[in-house]
Amino acid sequence: MRRALTALGTLAAGVAAAYFSDPGQGRRRRAALRHQAAATAHDTADVAQSARQQAADRLQELAHESRVAGRQALHRLRLLVREGRERMAARRLDREPPAQRPVASGHALLAALGGIAVGAAAMVLLDPQRRRRRLSLVRDQAVRLGHAGACFVDVGLRDLGHRAKGLGARTTALLRRSSADDAVLVQRVRAAMGRVVSHPHSIWVTAAEGCVTIGGPVLDGELAPLLKCVHSVRGVREVRDALEPHDSAAHVPALQGGRRRVGPQAELMRAHWAPGPRLLALAGGTALTLYGASRGGLTGLLSAAAGLGLAVRAARNEGLRQAMGRVTGRSVMEAGPSPQASSSRQEADAAGQAHGWRPVEPALPLHGGAALH
């Protein structure tokens, strides 16, 4: 079979060569063959282009039909979801007893209060006799409030930025665990003990390779807090106690006077807050107030009251004792004289009277405000 096919192929090739190599009509036959091949290729290209165009048109039609079908399905799904929500709401209302349904909305109460406030403001500002003066006062107060608010926000943001940098520095120092220089360690100890003792100037501090030595006169009630505070300073490995405790400051000049120290306190427990926490408290109180007003009910009322109290506390920046003292007309000090200093002054006065001494009275001021010396 293979031999027969080979013979037929050879015979066909010979016939074609003899047909196209004819001296008389070979050129015409070759030109006709080229023309027929070009026409066939052109027809094939036209058929392929038409088929490609038909396929593209069909794909576009299918894509359009798919988009339309998807939109219809999405619209139908939304309708089904809306119908389901309406049915669930209707069932909930049917199950709820009539006595538990709210008879009034919190939004209506807020609208009524807002209307009353707007009416009162219009009555005050539209007075024909004092309208201009009142409008000027309101404008000045608004400008002042805007400037104060911008300054408060700027200071608060800077304070928060500084706190973030300090927290990052502390975290980095804890991770590195590098030993501090002796001079730096001394300054850390002095900064820390200034919060727990009433006479930090009477105490001397030295440091050598993490070993801190403190000495000087100190009151008995402040000895234990001082040692605990020094032990807690970062970088301190050992504390050597060379302090001189005293029951009273009567005969120790270095312990005279001074103010009682309450030690480190949390930021929110202080009477006056720093700008950063104050800004956060004001923003949180305002957000909590708006949430409670929009929620309604007992929970909303409690949330709004708590948020309003927090916002007012942050805006006034004074504790309850200071506010009560301002209302009653009494001045309340955060840290008064220490009881040891008061007792020492009493003992010194008693000793002076026993020896016949008289306390020196303060000089009377002149009319211009200067004291006589």
Give pLDDT tens digits for 319-356. 767 767 666 665 554 444 444 444 444 544 554 444 44
- H-type helices in the chain, by residue range? 2-20, 26-95, 106-125, 131-176, 182-193, 223-231, 275-295, 297-316, 320-328, 339-354
pLDDT > 70? residue 61 = yes
Predicted pLDDT of residue 205: 93
pLDDT > 80? residue 52 = yes
Q: The CATH number of 178-255 is which of 3.30.1340.30, 3.40.50.2000, 1.20.200.10, 3.40.50.300?
A: 3.30.1340.30
Contact 264, 270 (CB under 8 A): no
C-beta neighbour count of 273 within 10 angstroms: 20
Cα–Cα distance between 174 and 131 in angstroms, integer? 63
Contact 162, 207 (CB under 8 A): no
Question: Across all residues in the chain, what is the average pLDDT?
Answer: 76
Tokens 């070979």 label which residue?
26
> Which of 275, 209, 272 minimizes the C-alpha distance to 238?
209
Contact 259, 234 (CB under 8 A): no
Cα–Cα distance between 122 and 138 in angstroms, integer? 12
Contact 210, 179 (CB under 8 A): yes
**Burial of residue 207 (number of CB atoms within 10 Å: 0-12, 13-18, 19+):** buried
Average pLDDT over residues 172-180: 75
C-beta neighbour count of 50 within 10 angstroms: 10
Sequence-separated (6 or more) residues with CB below 8 Å from residue 180 = 188, 234, 235
Predicted pLDDT of residue 103: 42
**Residue 250 phi, psi dihedral angles, 5° rounding:** -65, -45
Q: Which residue has the higher pLDDT, 7 or 279?
A: 279
Q: Which residue has the higher pLDDT, 28 or 232?
A: 232
- What b/e string do you get for 191-206 counting C-beta neighbours within 10 Å, with b at 16 or more? ebbeebbbbbebbebe
> Which of 90, 288, 328, 81 minimizes the C-alpha distance to 320?
328
Out of 61-70, 138-147, 172-181, pick the least confident: 172-181
Cα–Cα distance between 41 and 23 in angstroms, integer? 28
**Residue 35 phi, psi dihedral angles, 5° rounding:** -65, -40
**Residue 155 phi, psi dihedral angles, 5° rounding:** -65, -40
Q: Which residue has the higher pLDDT, 138 or 372?
A: 138
Average pLDDT over residues 89-100: 66
- What b/e string do you get for 336-350 counting C-beta neighbours within 10 Å, with b at 16 or more? eebebbeebbeebee
Tokens 């088929």 label which residue?
51
Average pLDDT over residues 66-91: 85
Element (H, E) at 204: strand 204-208
